[in-house]
Amino acid sequence: MQTREKVIIVGGGPVGLLCALNLATHDVPVLVLEAHSELFMDLRAGSFHPPTLEVMEPLGLTAKLIEIGIPVRKWQLRDSEKGVIGTFELSLLSDETSFPFRLHLEQHCFTPIVLEQLRNTPHAEVRFSCQVQNVTQGGAGVRVSAQTPDGLEKFDGGWVIGADGGGSVVRKCAGIRFDGFTFPERFALISTTHDLGRQGFTDTAYISHPVEWCAVFRLPDQGPPGLWRFLYGCDPNESEQDAMSDSTVEKRLQSVQPKPTPYEIVHRTIYRVHQRVASTFRNGRVLIAGDAAHLNNPIGGFGLNCGLQDAMNLTEKLIRVLRNDASDDLLDLYVRQRRTVNIEYVQEASIRNKRLLEETDESIRLSRLDDMRRASLEPSLAKAVLMRSSMIDSMRRANSIT
């Protein structure tokens, strides 16, 4: 590479670290600034879809993840009263992808793998306890100001990538709007060692109910049977303390799968959920990706995957720009591709998934469940569902945009 133009990445989560790794692997100097003192242990994301595994494979990450993750080869749609509505076999995708499965692995198991590889890659520096305060840009580059253990420091580079989450300082400094809405209810995420697989649950299952809808999925732990996660919406009128109380959590888990003894809870968390998309993913030399660019509810596991796909799409184009193989107009294509599919697929699909599970009109709810039952029984219809839910359709749509 003729140029040694440094890229500053704000945010040391999965999206920021993946951006850094792909750039540094291609000899682009990178500096990652992370506000936390160490890698953040985020419990919310834990599913990798086929296109994400595909784009990370050249970096050697996919093979490492498969070694420690749980391949999920089918998922269920259930109803709280009617039981299993349909089972969808991801083997139907075998002629579409080399990875016809979801891979379950917690985000906080993924980031150390990327960080270790990044630290063994030349041209890469990662600094923790660096709280970015301001980002400015001019024709020649960018300047990032951050509060560090040594006081206020300023860092100069050619480009800045904001991968600093929904409250992105980078996005705000660039004057980019973040349009959308926040759901009135908070979401609870509860982990237990109780093995739902013994009750016939697949490693991912969605349970429909007008009030007590739920999603469950299995993740790796110290040993079998792993951890089972319950994801559900809380009563909007309920305080966080009440929602997270032992009695409330126990009642909710028992409503999904009754058992004679109390559930052993390993950890629990509660958080707000948003549906938002930035008005653009670029302002000059400032680019944003992942949660800094878009947020969605977690039903379907699209958020982390969309962010990691952003990271690879963006950095592949930025590498070409830095090598003088393309003008920086190529970065506008990143915006068109990734913003379009987020609006057309991720936002729409995640909202639709939530509505399917929580529909209160009984006739509509039963009609939707019947549609899904029929789809599960007809391979061509089931494959169409899987192409959307596994994000293969959205990746192909993005790649088709010029």
Tell me the per-residue pLDDT of 94-148, one tens digit each, with 9 for 90 and over: 999 999 999 999 999 999 999 999 999 999 999 999 999 999 998 889 999 999 9
291 phi, psi to nearest 5 deg? -65, -25
**Residues 259, 193 share a domain:** yes
**Confidence label for 3 from pLDDT (cuts 50, 70 and 90):** very low
Instruction: Tell me what the pLDDT averaged over the chain comes to.
Output: 95
∠ CA 137-143-147 to the nearest 5 degrees? 135
Final residue of a structural domain among 355, 370, 385? 355
Do residue 257 and residue 287 come from a single domain? no
* Banded pLDDT at 353 (limits 50, 70, 90): very high
Note whether residue 19 is domain-resident.
yes
In which band, very low, low, confident or very high, does the pLDDT at 23 lie, cut at 50, 70 and 90?
very high
CA angle 61, 66, 68 (to 5 degrees): 105
Helix (H) or strand (E) holding 377: helix 362-377
Q: 161 pLDDT exceeds 90? A: yes
Give me the residues paired with residue 160 across strands: 8, 286
Residue 110's domain is classified under what CATH number?
Answer: 3.50.50.60
pLDDT digits (tens, 9 = 90+) for 223-234: 777 899 999 999
For residue 391, is it within any domain? Answer: no
Beta strand residue intervals within 209-272, DSSP E: 214-219, 227-233, 265-271
Two tokens at 85? 């509505």
Output the pLDDT for position 134.
98
Do residues 302 and 238 share a domain?
no
Asked if residue 79 belongs to a domain, the reply is no
Considering the domain architecture, whether residues 191 and 266 belong to the same structural domain is answered as yes
Strand partners, 276: 180, 295
Assess if residue 339 is contained within a domain: yes
pLDDT-derived band of residue 5, with 50, 70 and 90 as boundaries? Answer: confident
| Assigned token pair, 82 | 């009617």
pTM of structure: 0.95
- When divided into structural domains, the chain yields a total of 2
354-366 tens-digit pLDDT: 999 999 999 999 9
Do the beta carbons of residue 387 and residue 96 sit within 8 Å?
A: yes
Coarse DSSP helix, strand, coil percentages of the chain, rounded to the nearest 5 percent: 40, 25, 35
Name the nearest CA neighbour of 297 among 265, 269, 270, 275. 275
* Whether residue 147 is found in the same domain as residue 289: yes
CA–centroid distance for 12 within its chain: 15
**127 in the same domain as 38:** yes
Do 32 and 174 reside in the same domain of the chain? Answer: yes
Same domain membership, residue 329 and residue 237: no
Same domain (yes/no): 138, 228: no
Question: Are 234 and 287 contained in the same domain?
Answer: no
Q: Please count the other Cβ atoms lying within 10 Å of the Cβ belonging to residue 363.
A: 8
Q: What is residue 1's predicted lDDT score, i.e. its pLDDT?
A: 37
259 and 125 belong to one structural domain: no
The alpha carbons of the chain give a radius of gyration, in whole angstroms, of 21
Asked whether residue 401 is assigned to any structural domain, the reply reads no
Structural domain including 302 reads 7-72+102-179+274-355
Q: What is the mean pLDDT of residues 190-212?
A: 95
| 369 occurs within a structural domain | no
Q: Domain boundary residue among 355, 372, 388?
A: 355
- pLDDT over 80 (residue 20): yes
Residue 362 located in a structural domain: no
Residue 215 lies in a domain: yes
Angle value at C-alpha 37, between 34 and 43, nearest 5 degrees: 80
CA dist 113 and 64 (Å) reads 8
Cα distance between residue 380 and residue 226, in whole Å: 33
Q: Omega of the bond prior to 379 within 30 degrees of 0, cis?
A: no
Domain C-terminal end among 271, 299, 323: 271
Residue 2, pLDDT score:
38
Distance, CA of 307 to CA of 13 (rounded, Å): 10
Note the pLDDT of residue 136. 97
256 and 191 together in one domain: yes
pLDDT above 70 coverage of the chain, percent: 99
